[in-house]
Amino acid sequence: MLKQKISSRETTAIKKYFDECRNVVIIAHSSPDGDAIGSSLGLKEYLEKKGKQVSVIVPNLFPDFLKWMHDSDKIVIFERQKSMGYNLINMADLICCLDFNALSRIEEVAVPLRRSNARKILIDHHLNPENFADVMVSCPDCSSTCELVFRVINAIGGLSNLSLNAAEDLYAGMCTDTGGFTYNSNDPDIFMIIAELLRKGINKDLIYRKLFNTYTLDRYRLMGYILSNKLVQYPELHASYFTVSREELKQFNFLKGDLEGVVNMPLAIRGQKLSISLREDTEKPIVWVSVRSYDDFSARELAERFFNGGGHFNAAGGRVEGTIAEAEEVCKRAIEAYREQLIDKVAQ
């Protein structure tokens, strides 16, 4: 038996909404990752099996390594298909908001969402959710939103209708949001859920290869370049950061997702506790920031304080409006601001 994390009130309301809806829109956060895409497509597949008309909308592009997922080619990219996005949201009688806790996380998609009179369900595992939905399923101690979507489907008695495609999507999101189950994955329930997904017929080894072993040669040359030439190390602080400019991305034929996971690599250095990546946007004057940490050092606090961001305790992100040089100066100040906390951090 899974531990109860969804209340009876939430379960009753969601079942009612799922039964009564006809046109559903599922929305996930900006710069969608494996959990955002996996939870969205998994829920889409489940609701379509119930005879519903379902569309998935994300604010902008998602990584190429997620495009193997069933119906990923049908996802509406709002920044490129605004008219379609507005129409779908206007026609919806139910909107499911997945893997984000604040309307700022969906950028321009928030405009039609606010205007919509449709019922709204939030399913998310980030802290401090804004109260903008009729039903709020918020569980920060869950590994992923994909885990929560599984729990929702299980709670309303829908597990028998969970298809193989949906099971693959949910497993993929759980896998990516835990680094292949190497962090935030000590809850025994996670492995009970995996067992259920295996019973649906997923090939977890193949999914892992699709997620982590399908990159281009340019991606690996970019990784080597970063680790050899761009990594700035603070040995006494057990911290590091790297920057990647727009020109450098072009040099290595950058594709969305090519830097996925690279921020985690410096954490493999003995004693390392903090790693920060700064990537200049290929078009806009924005620098995207990823922060990773180990143990009791809060990546989330640092991201909130210096990078207009947030996230999980050990995995967070944010952004800097400006140049890569300006972002680097902010990064240096951030590391120095936590000198006292970092200097005594030694790997156990």
Rounded to 10 degrees, the C-alpha dihedral 150/155/161/164 comes to 20
**Which positions ≥6 away from 160 have C-beta within 8 Å?**
none
- At residue 348 the predicted structure's pLDDT band, cuts being 50, 70 and 90, is very low
State how far the Cα of 55 lies from the Cα of 46, in Å rounded to an integer.
12
- Strands (DSSP E) contained in 119-209 are 119-124, 135-138
Give the mean pLDDT of the chain.
95
Q: Which of residues 120 and 128 earns the better pLDDT score? A: 120
Q: How high is the pLDDT of residue 283? A: 87
Predicted local confidence at residue 347, as pLDDT: 45
Residue 263 main-chain phi, psi, to 5 deg: -60, -25
Decide if 114 contacts 102 (C-beta within 8 A). no
Closest CA to 153 of 96, 73, 71, 75: 96
Q: Which residues contact 207 (CB under 8 A, 6 or more apart)?
A: 168, 171, 172, 175
Q: How many residues does the chain have?
A: 348
125-145 pLDDT, tens per residue? 998 999 999 999 999 999 999
For the chain, domains (ranges, CATH) are 8-212 (3.90.1640.10), 217-343 (3.10.310.30)
Separation CA 216–CA 90 (nearest Å): 39
The pLDDT value recorded for residue 166 is: 98
- What is residue 183's predicted lDDT score, i.e. its pLDDT? 85
- pLDDT tens sequence across 236-261: 999 999 999 999 999 999 998 899 89
Q: Give the percent of the chain with pLDDT over 70.
A: 99
